[in-house]
Amino acid sequence: MSPAQQASLRDADTFDYVIVGSGAAGSILANRLSADGATVCVLEAGPPDNSPFLHIPAGFIKAVFNKKYAWQFSSEGTAQTNGRRVPIPQGRTLGGSTSINGLVYNRGQAADFDHWASLGNPGWAYADVLPYFKSMERRVGGDDRYRGRQGELPVTDIDWIHPLCEAFIAGAVEQGIPRNPDYNGAEQAGVGYFQRTISNGWRMSTAKCFLKPAMARKNLDVRTYAQATRVLFDGTRAVGVAYCHPAHPSRLRAVRASREVIVACGAINTPKLLQLSGIGPADLLRQHGIDVVRDLPGVGENLSDHYSVRIVARVKNSKTMNELVKGFSLAGQISRWMMKRPSIMALSPSLLHYFWKSTPELTAPDLQGVFTPASYKEGYVGVLDDFPGMTAGVWQHRPDSRGQVRIQSADPLQDPIILANYLADERDQVTLVRGIRLARRLLQSQALAPFSDGEALPGPLCESDSELLDFARRFGVSSYHVNGTARMGPADDKYAVVDAQLRVHGVQNLRVIDSSVMPSMPSANICAATMMIGNKAADLIRKA
């Protein structure tokens, strides 16, 4: 630590715990730790969650591309994406990505967590983590063996039913995919409606459910516009965090942590902060003039994400969301929402799920699909098409391609270089093409035939495997499910960053608690698993 940093830290406020990031894990940690009487400071780089677009579910489209509330990251272009940079926005406000995401609550398969434990991470098998999923959720319906009733997070069923959705489900059942009322219960495989983090027409972010209630406690201090620039060390012991207002980077402040510093910035900002703090691949740190606190080659490696592709069909004989968002129809939907009646204003972007197998011999799904009675230009969730349409998307549950996140300078305000390496592994290419064929078959089912007016994207002329793969390269997008860049594993694993207690290897009083610790991709949207990690980590810290 430099003399200036030492002086800054001497004058800093002191807390038991300093949590960097107020997202899916950070907000839950702040709630749990402050409930025990510990003093906690939360540093959030973004602003308060004041925008209505962060609270109205349909505001997703406005929030996710707003640089005020979301980091506008993008992956480097590669040959497998036809040179395109792929946007990967991440939440930058109280609640993190839970304030801007697609509101889907999806845990994953039991085998995902059993696999984590098998990699040398005791305490992370499904039987170990299920109580933490249950204790944070408030769910109506389902089996008590799998679902929680008393938690802070409402998990609800959709109340806006569209004829196209019911026809899609019927078509999937035609083709051997069973209807599944609870994919978060005993079995994931099947088709049905997504469960959402929506209640009474409003988004239920972790800021709303966990952080805001805890902010009434005098021992919790939440600081917005506080971008962490470096974890401060005394030797190899984390003692605090330096931060700044993003608009005033030269005015550094610091907070001291008497017990632990907890990094919960997500799978892109967490490795960036660790590297800026001297923890990461030594050659990379020296290249940028950063003193090495601990040489950990795995910091920023093992990046994984779901690369999704969407098939679009034109619709006849039914009014889709493309029409419902215009003119008097939109006014009617807003009115219904204000009266707490079913409305498109209180929907997640994807309404239906289908979890299925790319080949019949598999014993569990390796694909996740989504359906919505709407279509977007070029299949990208952002701007609705001018024609009535419906969309079936698909991605591979557990891609084999791996990427990396690396700082490109010692400037804490500069975005890191993100190389996602989508479709780099040929196995991913094969599986995704099979998934596209499945999505296409589902849109061509007999049940949907009365409503289908022909495939718009990629179109009937795109048929061979090579043509479908080229389509995926040209139009595939991130699902924003980045993880794995500070993965959990034993100390003898060269590329492990944290142990099973989520403590950073080789240093003291520093943990990472967010999606970056996932040793492998869950078979799901990662938000629910990240919240579980925060909930379980609170117990790990308490026991320590």
| Residues that constitute the known binding site | 101-104
- The dihedrals phi and psi of 237, each to the nearest 5 degrees, come to -105, 125
| Cβ-based neighbour number of residue 378 at 10 Å | 14
Exactly one of 55, 353, 397, 481 is catalytic; name it.
481
What is the spatial distance between Cα 394 and Cα 375, in angstroms, rounded to a whole number?
14
* 353 in active site: no
Beta bridge partners, 8, equal: none
User: H helices within 277-420, ranges in order?
Assistant: 282-287, 321-324, 327-338
DSSP line for 191-224? EEEPEESEETTEE--HIIIIIHHHTTSTTEEEES
Q: Cα(first)–Cα(last) distance of the chain, in Å?
A: 26
CB 305 within 8 A of CB 420: yes
User: What DSSP element (H or E) covers 230?
Assistant: strand 227-234
Q: What share of the chain is helix, strand, coil (3-state, %, to 5)?
A: 30, 25, 45
Please state the residue numbers annotated as binding site for FAD: 101-104
The HSE-up count of residue 498 (CA atoms within 13 Å, CB side) is 30
The pair of structure tokens assigned to 421 is 């390496």
User: What DSSP element (H or E) covers 369?
Assistant: strand 367-372
User: H helices within 309-378, ranges in order?
Assistant: 321-324, 327-338
The pair of structure tokens assigned to 89 is 């926005």
Residues annotated as part of the active site? 481
